[in-house]
Amino acid sequence: MSESVETHTVVEVTGVVRLADGSTSEFRISRDGAWTQWGAGAERLGQSVDAVDAMSAALVEEDLIETSDIGEEEGS
């Protein structure tokens, strides 16, 4: 007997990156895969940029973030 698994599509991801020294920066990955991060100085943001970029790329590449109806909701 197979079980039905309900799946959900992610439309936005927000979170916190904590570096080895305990400092943090916040980030947001939007539905088009674009991302922003804030909450730390430029040097510390530069240390977490690769992690946030990799998360964004993985969400888009694995079709885990909904991108198909961008513009439809906005009337474009």
pLDDT at 31: 84
At 56, the pLDDT band (50, 70, 90 cuts) reads: very high
> How far is 49 from 32, CA to CA, in rounded Å?
17
pLDDT at 41: 85
Nearest Cα neighbor of 49 from 64, 32, 29, 66 is: 29
At 62, the pLDDT band (50, 70, 90 cuts) reads: confident
The CA-to-CA distance between both ends of the chain, in Å, stands at 44
> How far is 35 from 12, CA to CA, in rounded Å?
10
Q: Which residue has the tokens 């439309």?
A: 11
24 in Cβ contact with 39 (< 8 Å): yes
- List, for residues 13-28, the tens digit of each pLDDT value: 999 999 988 989 999 9
